[in-house]
Amino acid sequence: MILQAKNIVKCYDNLSVLSGVSLSIEAGQTIAICGRSGEGKTTLLHILGTLEEPDSGEIELAGMRLSRSNAKELRNQQIGFIFQSYNLLEDFTALENVLMPARIARKQITRSMGLELLARVGLEHKCDVPAKVLSGGERQRVAIARALCNDPPLILADEPTGNLDRENGKKVGELLLQLNKALILVTHDAELAALCHTQSVLKDGKLI
């Protein structure tokens, strides 16, 4: 089991967002999570990705119980995160953004590795362009290439095709599903969700 979450509860002030979500995913397994806007999908991914703490519940990543002291290291080694709002570093080029996880992990990296990742999302030609001048869809694809940088076993993707045209959306969806990695995919695209091994819906704070 690459990730196991048990009974995750999360409230913001008096808004209950997650009221006991359990989920587990094995290496290579793909899970689609759908649900209406505001149901807590991003919140759940942030918690699974160690970016936010739950009020209660437990998470195990790669067999290790998650804690404040190991969260950063585990995240860096195990998880590639594709954010709904991309979270690119605006003044850095597409290539620099893609290679950022390797820099953070102090890994040896080469320009050609980054270019290869950009080529996989059809953006090699934008390598030296700063993120701030890229279009929404281009940013989304840079974010996807960045998530693959450290070759993590688990990808958490928050509506990764939400800002792409049909053709690019299809390409990106296929790319994510062909990675042979564990993938938790939040999406509103029913066709893409249907291609995952498992489909679930987040509703009223529960995963069904």
Ligand X SMILES: Nc1ncnc2c1ncn2[C@@H]1O[C@H](COP(=O)(O)OP(=O)(O)OP(=O)(O)O)[C@@H](O)[C@H]1O
* Residues within the interface to ligand X (CB under 6 A): 12, 15, 17, 35, 37-43, 84
Q: Which does 194 bind (CB under 5 to 8 A by kind): Mg ion, ligand X, none?
A: none
Q: Is the CB of residue 146 less than 8 Å from the CB of residue 168?
A: no
- 67-86 residues near Mg ion, rule: CB under 5 A: 84
For residue 148, the minimal CB distance to Mg ion (Å) is: 21
The amino acid sitting at 175 is L
Q: Which residues have C-beta within 8 Å of that of residue 120, sequence separation ≥ 6? A: 145, 148, 175
**Surface-to-core class of residue 33, CB atoms within 10 Å of its CB (0-12 exposed, 13-18 middle, 19+ buried):** buried
State the CB neighbour count (10 A cutoff) for residue 168.
17
Phi/psi of residue 21, each to 5°? -100, 125
For residue 125, the minimal CB distance to ligand X (Å) is: 30
For residue 104, the minimal CB distance to ligand X (Å) is: 24
- State the residue number with the nearest CB to Mg ion: 42
Q: Which does 160 bind (CB under 5 to 8 A by kind): ligand X, Mg ion, none?
A: none
Closer to Mg ion by Cβ: residue 42 or 150: 42
Quick one: which of 46, 51, 55 has its CA closest to 19?
55
- Measured distance CA(170)–CA(198) in Å, rounded: 19
- 36-55 residues near Mg ion, rule: CB under 5 A: 41-42
For residue 39, the minimal CB distance to ligand X (Å) is: 4
Q: Which does 38 bind (CB under 5 to 8 A by kind): ligand X, Mg ion, none?
A: ligand X
Closer to ligand X by Cβ: residue 36 or 72: 36
For residue 45, the minimal CB distance to ligand X (Å) is: 8
Q: Is the CB of residue 82 less than 8 Å from the CB of residue 144?
A: yes
Binding positions for Mg ion, rule: CB under 5 A: 41-42, 84
